[in-house]
Amino acid sequence: MSESTTNDAQPIFSLQKLYIKDCSFENPNAPTVFTTPSEQPHIELNLSLNHQQLDTEHWEVTLHISVITRDQESQQLLFEIELEHAGLFYMSHIDEAHLPLLLGVECPTILFPYTRQLISQLTVDGGFMPLLLEPINFRAAFEESQMQQESEAVIH
């Protein structure tokens, strides 16, 4: 029989809670935007990711999404969305070397489909067609960010 030690503890990674930290939908030109036929709107999308450690086993990961949608011809603002959508993640017995990948890839990959659904529902509730954000490859974004940080470190 083998003896179990604390070093043999299995890593645990789980989502405990999803929540909206901040949400704003603005439709400043309603109802006139609904009376003028519009072609495919111009969409400006900005996304950022933040994380913070709350205690030894809990991390908050937040997606910040900003969407500004304008009419292609007139450049009239159709709607604007600001959303901070977060997840509370439990991580125990995780090797420190794996934390950046979990926080920068796995957590936002889990969070994003729910964020995407919120954006879609906000646009429908605002009187527009659903805005379905394209899937995001968080691994590619993470690797690109890592390469950029390495090249900046070499320059300095």
Q: Going from the first residue of the chain to its last (156 residues), give the mean pLDDT of each consecutive group of 10, the final group possibly shorter.
A: 59 97 96 84 94 96 97 92 98 93 96 97 95 93 84 70
Coil, helix or strand at residue 24: strand
- Fill in the amino acid letter for 77: L
Model's pTM, two decimal places? 0.86
Helix (H) or strand (E) holding 121: helix 107-125
| Pairing mode of beta strands 12-26, 58-70 | unpaired
Rounded CA-CA distance 114/89 in Å is 15
Residue of 110, 127, 80 lying closest to 15 (CA atoms): 110
Homologous superfamily of the 12-155 domain (CATH): SecB-like (3.10.420.10)
Domains of the chain by residue range:
12-155
